[in-house]
A and B are shown apart, each in its own frame.
Chain A
Amino acid sequence: MSSSQLRALPLGDSAVTIAFGSERSAALLARIQAAARSLEAARIPYVEDVVPAYLALTVFYDSLHTTYDEIAKTLLDACDRPARGARDTAPPRQHVIPVHYDGMDLDAVAAATGLAVTEVINRHSGRGYTVDLLGFVPGFAYLSELDRSLQLPRRAEPRPRVPAGSVAIAAAQTAVYPLDTPGGWHIIGRTETMLFDPAREPPALLRAGDTVRFERVA
């Protein structure tokens, strides 16, 4: 695909968002992740961070030494060309996360989906998920794809505090909250697994491309 199909927009003074498409798909996500690796390998001057997401990637840059127009043009050109030396993706790892399925929203999810609680648990724990991307807070991984029968919109009112270790679902995804944070997803369980440990190297447990399975424990 040519760069004319990519669109660059400023995100404030120090970032550029490059839109790759308007509909989520596994293929689009893979393309964005490849472009992100390509940009990192290209070592473009003033680029500080590359953040892939579902429809776009965002590049943070040093705006005291370049302008939006200059960096946007450079990035659009670079997104097209697979860079030599782009690191091979690290081999994906498989993780098993033990879960106590006693979350505060478990009954509400059962009621909203019309399923028995045990069926909600079976359908959540019965499949493997892929890590799409990391973001939101340190160590937070967006996992796909949740069983269709469990898919619900986010809560209308986010909670001001969701405890660290909470296992949650919303729309087509599931995730574990690594820290105490506000959150709008439905909490169905908890785990003692540490998704983020600042003393660990690397601190985040999960990486894009890894797979995750949840295992029910008492």
Chain B
Amino acid sequence: MDSFTLRAANAVSGNHFDAAGLEWALGGGSIRFEDDAVFSLGGAKAHATLGGKVAAPCTTIYAKAGDELTIEQLTSGRFLYVAIRGGIEVPQALGSKSTYLPGRFGGYQGRTLKKGDSLTVGADPSHLPTDGFHCAAELLPRYEPGIVHITRGTQADLFDESAWRTLTESEYRVSGASDRTGYRLEGPALANPVGTLPSEASCPGSVQIPGDGLPIVLMADAPTIGGYPKIAVVTEADLPIIAQRSPGDSIRFELITIEQSQRALRRRAADLQTISQLALRSSARAS
């Protein structure tokens, strides 16, 4: 859901960006390291400790065999990411190690992890950042105060000026009816002029307007084709921001052009490269 944070946490752990990691929602649990390991946390804020000491986010942490990482409840944000040096080893399904919960395949047996599960990490990671390497906050997305940039969607022209004013000038809140397929928003309804249309492709971040006029933002496990009109699309650079909004959190939409949107995405990619280079240099310095 917040793929930027997973990639950043991978870099801080010495992994390639696309190594498999853990996505942790809600809270309350612990992981025991059976062997020496290196890991990092990112995303949602949480009270996390390793062997009784605070485990800070965005930081390379060295664990010894037998250490337990305990994560108490998440205090803000929705998804905590745990990246372990070497990446989680699971078989590939359809070319990916990710879990697709609706289809019950991929990842670890196609399901969420439960107590007693045992995971294996890969043996040959790329490099070893120094213990305590910390990623600067300015390289990460600004999660507060929940400003989410959007570009015009496929059916943008079907919505009148008053609908656009409502969308971009109102405060919306993420409702409790939100999950990995989509986030329903609460707030002022938009007049939907068309009902449904012949189905066409959507993408994560698409802002759909169903019959009741309340926006639904499609997320990572969303249907790939649908018939609701799409007034806008959340810029990919801001998908992490909206992903981390918990039920009750507010969102404000700001309209930008596709040029601005693609530039913002390139900046995020550049920031990830910077994090990776700084992590690499930290290990060179330490040796």
Contact = CB atoms under 8 A, between A and B. Distances in A.
A18 to B, nearest CB: 11
Interface in B81-113: 93-94, 100, 102-106
A12 B236 contact: yes
Q: Is the interface of A mostly helix, strand, loop or mixed?
A: loop
Interface stretch (B16-24, B118-126, B196-204, B243-251): B196-204
Nearest to A53: B200
Interface residues of B, number: 42
B199 A10 contact: no
Contacts of A14: 203, 236
Interface string A4-19: 0000011111110100
Interface of B is mostly: mixed
A142 B203 contact: no
A11 B258 contact: no
A12 B105 contact: no
A191 interface: no
Contact of B154 (A17, A24, A57): A17
Nearest to A196: B103
Contacts, number: 108
Contacts of A179: 102-104
Nearest to A134: B225
Contact of A12 (B94, B181, B198, B233): B233
Interface residues of A, number: 36
B265 A133 contact: no
Nearest to A55: B198
Contact of A156 (B153, B211, B237, B269): B211
Interface in A22-71: 24, 51, 53-58, 60, 63-64, 67-68
B218 to A, nearest CB: 10
A12 B206 contact: yes
B64 interface: no
Contact of B224 (A17, A68, A136): A136
Interface of A: 9-15, 17, 24, 51, 53-58, 60, 63-64, 67-68, 133, 135-138, 142, 154, 156, 179-182, 196, 198, 203
Per CB-CB distance, the 6 closest pairs between chain A and chain B, nearest first, are A135-B225, A58-B201, A54-B198, A12-B233, A53-B200, A51-B201
Interface of B: 93-94, 100, 102-106, 151-154, 181, 196-203, 205-206, 211, 223-227, 230, 233-237, 258-259, 261-262, 265-266, 269
